[in-house]
Amino acid sequence: MAVVSKMIPAPDKVKIRTALLSVSDKTGVVELAQALSSHGVRLLSTGGTFKALAAAGLDVTDVSEVTGFPEIMDGRVKTLHPGVHGGLLAIRDDADHVKAMNDHKIGAIDLAVINLYPFEEVRAAGGDYPTTVENIDIGGPAMIRAAAKNHAYVTVVVDPQDYPQLIQALATEDGQTAYAFRQKMAAKAYARTAAYDTMISNWFAEALDIEMPRYRTLGGVLSQEMRYGENPHQSAGFYLTGDKRPGVATASLIQGKQLSYNNINDTDAAYELVAEFPSENGPACAIIKHANPCGVAIGGSLVEAYKRALACDSTSAFGGIIALNQTLDAATAEEIVKLFTEVIIAPDVTDEAKAIIARKPNLRLLAAGGLPDPRSRGLTAKTVSGGLLVQTRDNGMVEDLDLRVVTKRAPTEQELIDMKFAFKVGKHVKSNAVVYAKNGQTAGIGAGQMSRVDSARIAGLKAEEAAKAMGWAEPMTRGSAVASEAFLPFADGLLSMIAAGATAVIQPGGSMRDEEVIAAANEHGVAMVFTGMRHFRH
């Protein structure tokens, strides 16, 4: 049953006479308490916060003196009491509420400064199950929500970044806060508790192996507000979820301008792709443009891998994103700065390479600290009108699949290596995807077409253009292996691949016309392998 409002108008200015401070993160809390004390504010506090304020010489009252009840159960119960929540929730202009406060000797609390147990940090650090559960805050969210609900009279602050704003407000308003400020802080408070509970619920789902729980929320903390989104008329922000997967969200920005919305999207795509090639297996480079790879290669050195990736489509690489699977060295940096590039991301960067990249002050340089594990579990999500589409991360690896040769001719050892290479790349190309590869280098990439035949043709054309640009006698698709990330529904796609020069094909299989496609491969002496796994990417 809904509670009917008594429609008591909120006062504009409210004097802060009593403040409750209970924080896990002690950053700036002593300075804030000192400012409050200078305005004659009575300070209430709990546990470690009480000790910190008392040690700083402040006159502070332990909450247990307000509740008449000590902290019990290792601090699990200390603020869950009418003496606290009555002081936060009482409507100051309601006679019945005032009478209840007087009858039960409940004092008003005008300011609640609260931040929560470090659940996110404990989870990210790999805390065991009991430790992580123990860091689920109960009293903190209850007080935050109570204070935020009663923002007509109570100011709630949950973020140390807002302490200077509160101190300034008190200084200019003679120890008072304005209603607009209290509203703003209340909105932030509810967002904070929502994000906190999101982290907890998602951790439980992960710990209990519940892939699709009945209720699913996503939450994050604003890392940066951007000038615009995909286009200048769209606003955008980048929120961090707390997931410590190495990548653009956790990387250190060594130099360059703030990353844009499109930069972040493309850099994530690039780094997830290059992570398919473990650093211990040798150097690899991926060059991304508009979330699709335009060149991917391995090499005997990092600079060789970069040059080979660039050769696939040097035109599209202009203004692209470069991802490396090993520490960026000076030789590779010298080559990269010859081309206009938006972002470079690598696990680490040598000092010599940093100095070289510094010649291009607008070039963003990121050190991710490691590579993400392509086999690890996780979730991806996108919005649709009125809902969220959530799925587990595509962590399928071609090395883990039972590959099945379906043609009369089996692939050669080199063709099989190139097949696997192409299929790895195809996993990160927008569907419909066709990827030609030869000797550990993409030869041509066709992405995002409505027809797979068109993807095959476009990839072939790209290879011909690359051959002209590089002065090669023929396109690299001649004698290449080709991957389709989903099954070939008709033989026409295969025939386009053969026309481009492919001699071996890897695809998931599973079409109603598989036999027709296999027959066409046999007719042309092409080897074909089925993976049994597709990699749609929309």
Q: CB count, 10 Å around CB of 479?
A: 16
User: What span, in angstroms and rounded, lies between the C-alpha atoms of 98 and 147?
Assistant: 17
Catalytic pick among 26, 39, 51, 149 = 149
User: What span, in angstroms and rounded, lies between the C-alpha atoms of 328 and 358?
Assistant: 13
Catalytic pick among 15, 39, 184, 290 = 290
DSSP per position, 376-424: ---EEEEEETTEEEEEE-----GGGS--EE-SSSPPPHHHHHHHHHHHH
CB contact at 8 A, 301 and 452: no
User: What span, in angstroms and rounded, lies between the C-alpha atoms of 138 and 390?
Assistant: 28
Say if residue 402 is exposed, middle or buried (CB neighbours under 10 Å; 0-12, 13-18, 19+).
Answer: exposed
User: What span, in angstroms and rounded, lies between the C-alpha atoms of 371 and 345?
Assistant: 10
| Two tokens, residue 217 | 């929320």
One-letter amino acid of 390: V
- Residue 428 among the catalytic residues: no
One-letter amino acid of 500: A
- Listing from the earlier edge strand, what are the strands of the sheet with 341-346? 252-255, 364-367, 341-346, 320-324, 284-289, 292-298
Say if residue 513 is exposed, middle or buried (CB neighbours under 10 Å; 0-12, 13-18, 19+).
Answer: middle
| Two tokens, residue 252 | 């250190």
- Residue 524 among the catalytic residues: no
CB contact at 8 A, 152 and 182: yes
* Residues involved in catalysis: 149, 290
